[in-house]
Amino acid sequence: MNGTARARQREETRRTLVRESRRLFAARGYGAVGLSEIVRAAGVTKGALYHHFDSKAELFRAVVEQVQQEVGRRVAEGADAMDDPWDQLVAGCEAFLAAGADPEVQQIMLIDGPAVLGWNEWRAMDEAASASHLADALAALVEAGVIAGQPLAPLTHLLSGAMNEAALWLASSTGPNDLADTQAALVRMLESLRVRS
């Protein structure tokens, strides 16, 4: 086997490990899934797993990163579907809440993520995946005079924290209108930021 074929095989093994562990973590939670089960599902040896990841926690980190990137893409797609910068902010925030209603996202990104990785690491990953988009959107709206000039870091963290908390609440809510009601409440909260002429 040449070097290119080996590299492709290594990458395929890594993708399989991430895919299968993601499926298992989403279904049962990080704590209930063992390495033996992951390698069995992926059809590889523990040696192959350890070639790619030093630990179960490192494998989980790769899964969280993948989920956060997917949520970030969904938020960006929701925002990019709008032309007006204000509508982009609202659509992106609504898309985040909708993505957070997905049980897989809830379990991996919102429930197990902070518990397994620790708050600081999880927060840094969240910042890289979606909070930076929120900060950019808010900065553009402040610059355009749509939102009153103010320090953006506190505002970004307040909104991000509110949306993360709402997504966690949605994970355990049972009302058929809870997502729509939460999105409506978020829009009302965002509207309070707008400068009225």
The model's pLDDT over 34-90, given as tens digits with 9 standing for 90+, comes to: 999 999 999 999 999 999 999 999 999 999 999 999 998 999 999 999 999 999 999
For residues 181 and 165, what is the distance between their CA atoms, to the nearest angstrom? 14
Q: Is the pLDDT of residue 127 over 90?
A: no
Write down the mean pLDDT value for the chain.
92
- Per the CATH hierarchy, to which homologous superfamily does domain 63-192 belong? Tetracycline Repressor, domain 2 (1.10.357.10)
Enumerate the domain spans of the chain.
1-53, 63-192
Q: What was the pLDDT predicted at 144? A: 93
Q: What was the pLDDT predicted at 108? A: 95
Q: Which phi and psi angles does 150 have, rounded to 5°?
A: -170, 165
Q: What was the pLDDT predicted at 101? A: 85
pLDDT bracket for residue 126 (50, 70, 90) = confident
Q: Is the pLDDT of residue 118 over 90?
A: yes
Q: Is the pLDDT of residue 17 over 90?
A: yes
Question: Any idea which architecture 1-53 has in CATH?
Answer: Orthogonal Bundle (1.10)
Its pTM surpasses 0.95: no
Higher-confidence residue of 121 and 130: namely 121
Separation in Å, CA 86 to CA 44, 83, 91, 93, 164: 48, 9, 9, 11, 21
Query: Which 3 state secondary structure label does DSSP give 128?
Result: helix
pLDDT tens readout for residues 153-195: 999 989 998 998 898 888 888 899 999 999 999 999 999 999 9
Separation in Å, CA 106 to CA 56, 100, 133, 164, 184: 19, 6, 20, 10, 20
Q: Is the pLDDT of residue 2 over 90?
A: no
For residues 91 and 80, what is the distance between their CA atoms, to the nearest angstrom? 9
With pLDDT > 70 as the criterion, what percentage of the chain qualifies? Answer: 99
What is the sign, positive or negative, of the torsion defined by CA atoms of 162, 81, 174, 185? positive
